[in-house]
Amino acid sequence: MSENKDILLDIRDLSVQFNTDSGVVKAVNHLNMHLERGKSLGFVGETGAGKTTTALSILQLVQTPPGEITGGEILFNGQDVRKMTDAEKRRLRGGDVSMIFQDPMTSLNPIMTVEDQITEMVQLHLNLKGEAARERAIEMLRLVGIRPERAKDFPHQFSGGMRQRVVIAIALACRPQLIIADEPTTALDVTIQAQVLELIKKLQQSEKTSMLLITHDLGIVAETCDTVAIMYAGHLVEYADIKSLYTNPKHPYTQGLFNAVPTLESPLGSRLAVIPGLPPDPTNLPKGCSFSPRCPYAQPICHEKACGMREIEPGHFVDCHFPLTPESGNKFLEHPAKEAE
Amino acid sequence: MLKYALRRILILFPVVLSVMFILYTILYFTPGDPARIALGEEATPEAIEAFRDEHGLNDPFFVQFGRYVYNAVTKFDLGYSYNMKSPVAQELAIRIPTTMRLAFAAVLFSTLMGLPLGIISAIKQYSLLDSIVTVFILLGVSMPTFWTGLLFILAFSVKLGWLPSMGFDTLSEMVLPVVTLSGSSTALFAKMTRSSMLEVIKSDYIRTARAKGQKESVVIWRHALPNALIPIMTIISMQFGALLGGSIVTEAIFSISGVGRLMLEAINLRDYPIIQGGVLFISVSYCVINLAVDLLYGVVDPRIRVK
Amino acid sequence: MKNNSMLKYTLIRLRRNYLALFGLFILILLIICAIFAEQLAPYGYAQQDYMMIRKAPSAVHWFGTDEFGRDILSRIIYGSRISLQVGIIAVSISLVVGGLIGAISGYFGGKLDNILMRLMDIQMAIPTILMAIVISSVLGPGLFNLMVAVGITYIPKFARLTRASVLSIKDQEFIEAARAMGASHKRIICLYILPNCAAPLIVQSTLSVANAILFAATLSFLGLGIQPPYPEWGGMLSSARPYLRNNAYMSIFPGLAIMFTILSLNFLGDGLRDALDPKQKR
């Protein structure tokens, strides 16, 4: 990967584990990922694949017992976040990198007005006080579509979608360089989802902010992101720009994900081709490739040795001994809906 | 908000009335004839009948009850104690200030000691301090108040001679009773505060506060603490009732002439008017305090306020 | 099926909690003392020896003797029987009556619910000691009356707990589904609602037994409960008061007995609460 000034976030060989009573959970394993300035990256994977942990690691907010970052570097603007002082980390959080969390119902302090929650942000990073801070807060609220009269209301007086807008307002208040949105619409109704995504996209484009969008929904990624990273069991398995990934997925897991999405062209009455089996136990990852137990293309070597990310085409990386080609076909469809192991 | 307050205040009256009714009914049906108690064992049947007529003891139950309520509400007349040969209200009035001082001092002490202990042990979970506080909580909740009182007297009065073991007038006389009475409350407050803090610290909005880049101390003191203390308010107000009740034991051990001790004597002498009056007074106080805290809750927690 | 595995799971979690095991151990010790008091106690609880009045602990009388020359150790052993009896029976009364009230209130709702809960509120307006005192003074002294008095005081707590559990599950969809399938009220209550209440009620019962024993000891200390010569621990402390200066040991052992009993029940209750809570992340 090139050392160039356009790379805002560069994660190198990141490994994070959690030491629990039932064993060591390897949440993130040797993750390598980068994001260019002004672009947005979709971070896709099932629940528990390690996406949120990666995001929290960027902000150094992983709960330190029981969590532990065991290796790697997280370079933000060339500086390793792990080596920052506490004061630098606090400047990073909210000032350079903001996070939008998943559940708007619980992410806001119930006894603080929404205005106060934004002014707190502004006072911390933009050094605005008093009236100036208030004005900025009201401006942000207006930006996300909340009337100024509601500034002194409390979170419980807003619906889920509105609360998420408040969260977005807080995240953008200090013009961060990077927004991390962790499944920002999962907890919302479908109709509200569209609105909120629109809003995020609009703001991101107008402020030229980079974005890391964590989601399990391939549709959302297609609409909003420039590049995609697919994560499975704590590993990155494929990374490419949108067009390449959607037209030419190279990792069997990615193909499996696409299979599971019904399209308008699917013949009536056909079943969704699921990926047989279950994700591995994170305290007991399989030897070799983590996906091999469920992979219909697996060969003996896959069970023995992991491959590691390789650049198959310019800008398109896969972690697979036998990346798919257009000729590989679609083995998931040949064995539809096999019972889970 | 005003409507909410008004509604809560109005509910107080039926509750007090019901408490009066229950107490009155229970004591009405206890064995023993007030006339006989007043006039003594040798009284003649005619004298007893005359007494009963004179004091309306032959009237139907509800008439008697109605009279009691009327007297209580309009004239603060809670009846007459034949044992003590004086009005119930008067006997209570002399002793109420003492008991109130004891109970309030105990609440204050428990709050000032218990809350900080709970907060600090939550912030420094798993530390040595946390373990010490946990042990203290366990002991405080398991040791009976009357035992700790005796032990304190043994240690500080008998063996060390530092503090007196009777009375409640001078400052040094107040120390042991207040500390004794506060014992289990302090432990309870520490325990509840600790668990409330721990729960709040794990919430999502605390994580959001940290993600904003806020200093950890500000996160704890300005975000976590206010949220954690709201439910504690209710616990404190409820504990007040337990303390009023517990004052009986403390007053007995330290020979303090308060309402509690009066109750004890009244029970031994079967002085029902006093028992009735005393329990009524304490219950009403308890209700009023609860109401005050409820209203305070409405001020402090915006989720209730705007209903 | 489900109940079996839940029980097993609970026991496994309980076993890992050392405090709870300690509490269980002490409790079992107490139960043994209570049941086999006659065999374990070196002397009778009312056995007076005028030669040995107020003797400090010695080889002959491990915990010393009281003002009537009775062996304190034996009285404490017999006392466990009284304390456990009071605790268990009082809580049983509260559990059954309170649970019934709470279940009916929660399940049927409406006006009945309103009335019942108002009654509970009114009872809760009177501090528990006072309530027990009033009931005691009406019923008079004695072991049974003590149990009833203490039992009555805890009814509102169990009623509220049961009602909350019932409400939390009553409106869930699978209950509606069961009713749509024609299940009777009785069946719904027994099969679905009761198991949901079981866990919090078990925990509360354990903790309430501790409270009840403490409460009974307090009442006896005040002279309201069990009368001498019965060896109730609170009563023993009351009689030890005048001798605090010279015979301090008389005030220590009964208090220790109370403390350990309550401590063990609290450990066990907390342990059960942690073990039965499905949301525990340990």
The secondary structure of chain C as a DSSP string is -HHHHHHHHHHHHHHT-HHHHHHHHHHHHHHHHHHTHHHH-SS-TT---GGGTTPPS-SSSTT-B-TTS-BHHHHHHHHHHHHHHHHHHHHHHHHHHHHHHHHHHHHH-HHHHHHHHHHHHHHHHS-HHHHHHHHHHHH-SSHHHHHHHHHHHTHHHHHHHHHHHHHHHHTSHHHHHHHHTT--HHHHIIIIIHHHHHHHHHHHHHHHHHHHHHHHHHHHHTTSSPPTTS--HHHHHHHHGGGTTT-THHHHHHHHHHHHHHHHHHHHHHHHHHHH-TT---
Sign of CA pseudo-dihedral A196, A200, A205, A207: positive
Task: Say which amino acid occupies A273.
Answer: A
- The pair of structure tokens assigned to B290 is 């609860």
Indicate whether C282 pLDDT > 50: no
Please give the average per-residue pLDDT across C146-174, as a whole number.
86
* Facing residue for B213 by CB, picked from A94, A109, A111: A94
Chain C nearest-CA residue for B138: C263
CA distance C66 to C58: 13
Chain-chain contact of A124 with B212 (C-beta, under 8 angstroms):
yes
Query: How many beta-carbon contacts under 8 Å exist across A and B?
Result: 67
B208 vs A90, A107, A124: nearest CB: A107
Between CA C159 and CA C163 the distance in angstroms is 6
Which of A290, A285, A282 lies closest to A67, judged by CA?
A282
A141 and A150 Cβ atoms separated by less than 8 Å:
yes
B199 touches chain A (CB under 8 A): no
Mutate: best of C122, C146, C239, partner B, most B CBs <10 A: C122
| A110 to B226: CB separation less than 8 angstroms, yes or no | no
Calculated CA dihedral for residues A301, A304, A305, A310, nearest 10 degrees: 40
Closest by CA to B223, choosing from A112, C254, C38, is A112
Residue B202: closest CA among chain A residues belongs to which residue? A63
**Cβ of residue C26 closer than 8 Å to a chain B Cβ:** no
- Set of chain B residues whose Cβ sits within 8 Å of the Cβ of A170: 208, 212
Please name the member of A59, A108, A154 whose beta carbon is closest to the beta carbon of B211. Answer: A59
Residue B42 in contact with partner chain A when CB distance is under 8 A: no
C221 in B contact zone (CB under 8 Å): yes
Residue C122 in any domain: the answer is: yes
Of A228, A205, A210, give the one whose Cα is nearest residue A77. A210
Residue C158: inside a domain, yes or no? yes
Helices B171-201 and B88-123: crossing angle, nearest 10°? 50
Question: Number of H helices and number of E strands within chain B?
Answer: 14, 2
Q: Which two tokens stand for residue A139?
A: 């401006």
Distance from CA of C142 to the nearest CA of B (A): 14
Q: Beta-carbon neighbour count of residue B64 at 10 Å?
A: 16
Please tell me if residue B198 touches chain A, with a CB cutoff of 8 Å: no
CA distance C195 to C59: 52
Match 């809580």 to its residue by tokens. Answer: C91
Q: How far apart are CA A233 and CA A226, in angstroms?
A: 23
Q: In the sheet that A67-76 helps form, which strands lie side by side, from edge to edge?
A: A23-36, A7-20, A67-76, A79-80
* C-beta of residue A108 within 8 angstroms of C-beta of residue B205: yes
Q: What are phi and psi of A308, to 5 degrees?
A: 95, 155
A214: β partners: A43, A182
Q: Which chains touch A (3 or more CB pairs under 8 A)?
A: B
Establish if C68 belongs to a structural domain: yes
> Is residue C191 in a domain?
yes
- Asked if the structure places residue C219 within a domain, the reply is yes
Alpha-carbon distances of C34 from C30, C78, C225, C233, rounded to whole Å: 6, 6, 19, 13
Q: Which residues of B touch C221 (CB under 8 A)?
A: 144, 146, 249
Which pLDDT value is given to residue C278? Answer: 62
CA distances from C83 to B144, B246, C23, C48 (A): 14, 20, 16, 22
Q: Supply the pLDDT for residue A326.
A: 81
> Quick check: A121 and B212 CB within 8 A?
yes
B212 has a chain A CB within 8 A of its CB: yes
pLDDT of residue C169 exceeding 90? no
Residues of A in contact with B223 (CB under 8 A): 109, 112
- Contact at CB, B212 and A156, closer than 8 angstroms: no
Q: Residue C212: its pLDDT value, please?
A: 92
**In chain C, which residues have their Cβ closer than 8 Å to the Cβ of B286?**
125-127
- Residue A65 CA to residue A274 CA, distance in Å, equals 36
Instruction: Report pLDDT digits (tens) over B41-96.
Output: 777 888 878 877 777 777 888 888 888 888 888 888 888 887 788 888 888 999 99
Whether residue C183 lies inside any domain: the answer is yes
Q: Which segments within chain A are labelled E, that is strand?
A: 7-20, 23-36, 40-44, 67-76, 79-80, 97-100, 178-182, 210-215, 227-232, 235-241, 310-313, 316-318
- Which structural domain, as residue segments, surrounds residue C68? 4-276
Return d(Cα C98, Cα C94) in angstroms, integer: 5
Q: Which of C128, C133, C244 sits opposite B267 (nearest CB)?
A: C133
B208·A120 Cβ contact <8 A: no
Q: Flag whether residue C237 sits within 8 Å of chain B, measured between CB atoms.
A: yes
Say which CATH number the domain at C101 has: 1.10.3720.10
- Distance between CA B130 and CA B124 in Å, rounded? 6
**Out of B210, B211, B303, whose CB is closest to A110?**
B303
> Given this model, what pLDDT does residue A114 score?
93
Which two three-digit tokens encode residue B140? Answer: 């405080």
Report in angstroms the alpha-carbon separations of A55 from A107, A175, C241: 16, 19, 65
Residue C93 has, within 13 A of its CA and on its CB side, a CA count of 18
Distance CA A205, CA A38 (A): 8
Chain A interface includes B208 (CB < 8 A):
yes
Beta bridge partners of A215: A44
Give me the residues paired with residue A240 across strands.
A228
Domain assignment present for residue C53? The answer is: yes
- The CA-atom distances, in angstroms, between A21 and each of A16, A56, C140, C281 are 17, 22, 55, 9
Q: Which residues of chain A have pLDDT under 70?
A: 1-4, 334-341
Answer yes or no: are the C-beta atoms of C257 and C80 closer than 8 Å.
yes
**Chains within contact range of chain B (3+ C-beta pairs < 8 Å):** A, C
**C168 assigned to some structural domain:** yes
| A161 in Cβ contact with A77 (< 8 Å) | no
Task: For residue B240, give the chain C residue with the closest CA.
Answer: C127
**Predicted pLDDT of residue C124:** 85
Helical pair B225-253 and B272-300, crossing angle rounded to 10 deg: 170
Query: What's the whole-number mean pLDDT along residues C40-53?
Result: 82
Instruction: With beta carbons less than 8 A apart as the criterion, state whether C93 and C39 touch.
Output: no
How many structural domains are present in chain C? 1
Q: Averaged over C10-33, what is the pLDDT?
A: 85
Please report the number of interchain residue pairs, chain B to chain C, with beta-carbon separation below 8 angstroms.
Answer: 124
Q: CA A306, CA A236: separation in Å to the nearest integer?
A: 12
Q: What type of residue sits at position B136? A: F
| pLDDT of amino acid C1 | 43
User: How confident is residue C279, by pLDDT bands cut at 50, 70 and 90?
Assistant: low
Choose the weakest-confidence range: A194-203, B264-273, C60-69, C182-191: C182-191
* Beta strands, E only, A205-299: 210-215, 227-232, 235-241
CB contacts of B211 in chain A (<8 Å) are 59, 61, 93-94, 98-99, 101
Mean pLDDT computed over every residue of chain B: 86
In this complex, do B150 and C255 lie within 8 Å of one another by their Cβ atoms?
A: yes
User: Which residues have a Cβ under 8 Å from the Cβ of C176 and sit 6 or more positions away?
Assistant: none
pLDDT average, residue stretch B222-237: 91
Determine whether the interchain pair C122/B143 forms a contact, defined as Cβ–Cβ distance below 8 Å.
no
Task: Report pLDDT digits (tens) over B254-272.
Answer: 989 899 889 888 887 878 8
User: Exposure string (b/e) for A105-119, b if CB count within 10 Å is 16 or more?
Assistant: bbbbbbbbbbbbbbb
Nearest to A106 among B205, B215, B226 (CB): B205
Chains that touch C (3 or more CB pairs under 8 A): B
3-class SS of residue B42: coil
Nearest residue in C to B32, CA atom? C138
Question: For an interface test with C, which of B142, B261, B268 has the most C Cβ atoms less than 10 Å from its Cβ?
Answer: B142
Among candidate residues B199, B192, B177, B193, the one with its CA nearest the CA of residue B255: B177
Chain C residue closest to B31 (CA)? Answer: C138
Cα separations in angstroms, B156 against A93, A177, A186, A315, C87: 55, 65, 63, 80, 33
State the pLDDT at residue A55.
Answer: 92
Interchain pair B212, A91: CB under 8 A:
no
Query: How far is C175 from chain B, CA to nearest CA, in Å?
Result: 30
Q: Could you give all domains of chain A from N- to C-terminal order, each with its CATH number?
A: 7-225 (3.40.50.300), 240-334 (no CATH)
Report the relative pairing of strands A178-182 and A97-100 from DSSP bridges: parallel
To the nearest whole Å, the CA of C264 is away from the closest chain B CA by 9
Q: C172 or B189: which carries more pLDDT confidence?
A: B189
Express each pLDDT in B157-202 by its tens digit.
888 888 888 888 888 888 899 999 999 999 999 999 999 999 999 8
Strand partners, A232: A235
Tell me which amino acid residue A204 is: Q
Q: Calculate what percentage of chain C has a pLDDT beyond 90.
A: 24
Preferred mutation among C19, C137, C266 to probe B, highest tally of B CBs within 10 A:
C137
Average pLDDT, chain C: 84
Cβ under 8 Å to B: C residues 43-72 = none
